[in-house]
Amino acid sequence: MPTVDARPGPYSFDPSSTALLVIDMQRDFLLPGGFGESLGNDVSQLRRAVEPLAALLAVWRAAGLPVIHTREGHEPDLSDCPPAKLARGAIGQDGPYGRILIRGEYGHDIIDELAPADGEPVVDKPGKGAFYATDLDDLLKGIRSLIVTGVTTEVCVHTTVREANDRGYECLVLADCVGSYFPEFQRVGLEMIAAQGGIFGWVADSADLIKEIQR
């Protein structure tokens, strides 16, 4: 089986039971002038992940391996948005790219550089984790290993990895293909995943995974 140089130790996976998960690479979070930047965040911290993730996607697709994308957002009437979440954010308000985090709006969709290819599932999720109130677990039937990418490292990526870990998936998080607005959260978030012998999973760089795919 392919084996990636990772922390806390080598990560082996069977390509026939492995999927690439791309979490919430949406315009509302990543575009200059968008919702993320309107909160005072530096979107360049997230955009660092775009180029390596695009390169990985090209190799992954060429190998014929499955890709699943997620988008965080809500129904236009906000019926699926928990009151506590609605009270602490600008969800549903007008933003530069349409109503913020509302399905069907321009800002809710995935950035052009990482647009899903034909046939790649897109999971719309109302929460931080990709398993909550979605059909992701059903889409992953036959999958044991998840290559996890996307944003943000300490929120939606972390929540999804923890959920996946509880469901028995073996997760490899690619350090250069995930991002946080806060460099310290990025560093600590990745350390937490690989801590204590890989309590939630493994951490590696995309170049090491690409090398294994192309062997």
- Of 24, 81, 171, 177, the catalytic one is 24
**β-bridge mates for residue 47, sequence order:** none
Asked if 24 is an active-site residue, the reply is yes
Six-digit token pair at 116?
A: 């899903």
C-alpha span between 148 and 161 (Å, rounded)? 8
48 in helix, strand or coil? coil
Cβ-Cβ contacts under 8 Å for 81 (sequence gap 6 or more): 74, 75, 91, 92, 126
Determine which one of 125, 128, 171, 177 is catalytic. 125
Active site residue 42: no
Strands (E), 43-144: 67-72, 94-95, 98-99, 122-125
Active site residue 125: yes
H runs (alpha helix) in 63-170? 83-87, 136-139, 158-166
CA 43/CA 179 separation, integer angstroms: 10
Please pick, among 81, 156, 171, 177, the residue that the annotation labels catalytic.
156
Fill in the amino acid letter for 102.
Answer: I
Distance CA 38, CA 36 (A): 5
User: Tokens for 173?
Assistant: 């998080």
The partner residues of 98 in beta bridges, in order of sequence, read 95, 96
Asked if 39 and 46 touch (Cβ cutoff 8 Å), the reply is no
Instruction: Point out the residues that are catalytic.
Output: 24, 125, 156
